[in-house]
Structure 1
Amino acid sequence: METSVSRQTDPDRFEITAGGEVAGFARFVDEEGHRIFFHTEISEQHAGKGLAGTVVRHALEATRKEGLRVVAVCPFVKKYVNTHEEWSDVVDKATPAMLAAIPRRA
């Protein structure tokens, strides 16, 4: 199955498509030099195919290239960065101000 990841706006997210249809996304908000990832979701029909890891890896690569730091609030992103040490140099802990930047209706 062919997949691709692209950055979308309104809302800000990295979206993964599989077989030409949207399979999931990783939502984020940028705040003071940090990209705060707060929600990752993969559709039920695409679950278990490794797509969440793919979209998160691409999102982290883009974040690093943009010179931003990563804040993992989403449980999946948090687990991903904790099990892939190559991201430890760009990950920061969330502060109350960062958490306040997350949209209420995510």
Structure 2
Amino acid sequence: MSNLVEDNPAKNRFEILVDDALAGFSAYLLRGDVVVFTHTEVDQRFQNMGVGGALIRGALDQVRARGGRVVPQCPFVAAYIDKHPEYADLVAVLP
């Protein structure tokens, strides 16, 4: 199973494709260079397969690569960052 995480700015979300099928997404709002994650969904066919974690890891890696920060309003993203402290430095506090 191959998967690919892509930013879809037209829909304000990161999407994960598994074997060319949309398996899930994490929606966001942009506040300058801060990405506010608001909601994450994984298609039922792909749940409990690590797809959600791969999606968030890919999204956070892309935000880091472009020098951005994140606000994890989505509980799934917040839990992922809690379990993976290597991403804690990306968390920003909005004024």
Do they fold alike, i.e. is TM over 0.5? yes
Aligned to 1:53: 53
Whole-Å separation in 1 of the counterparts to 2:29 and 2:49: 26
Structure 1 match to 2:34 = 34
Whichever of the two has the greater Rg, that structure is: 1
Q: Deviations over 1:36-73 (max 9, x none)?
A: 01111000111110000001001001101111111000
What's the % identity of the aligned pairs? 34
SS at match of 2:89: helix
Where does structure 1 differ by over 4 angstroms across 4 or more consecutive aligned residues?
Answer: none
Cα distance, 1:21 vs structure 2: 0.7
Show the counterpart of 1:62. 62
SS in 1 for 2:11: coil
Distance in 2 (alpha carbons) for counterparts of 1:81 and 1:2: 23
Residue ranges of structure 1 left out of the alignment (5+ in a row):
96-106
TM-score (norm. length: structure 1): 0.83
Once superposed, what is the RMSD of the aligned Cα atoms?
1.2
Equivalent residues, number: 95
Correspondence 1:1-106 to 2 at 5 A? 1-95=1-95
| Cα distance in structure 2, aligned partners of 1:73 and 1:93 | 11
Shift in Å at residue 24 of structure 1?
0.5
Q: 1:25, 1:42 within 8 Å by CA — same for their partners in 2?
A: yes
Deviation at 1:83, TM superposition (A): 1.2
* Aligned residue identity for 2:75: P
Contact in 2 for aligned 1:73/1:94 (Cα 8 Å): no
One-letter identity of the residue aligned with 1:77: V
| Structure-2 change in CA distance of 1:77 and 1:26 (3 Å) | same
Return the offset for 1:30.
1.2
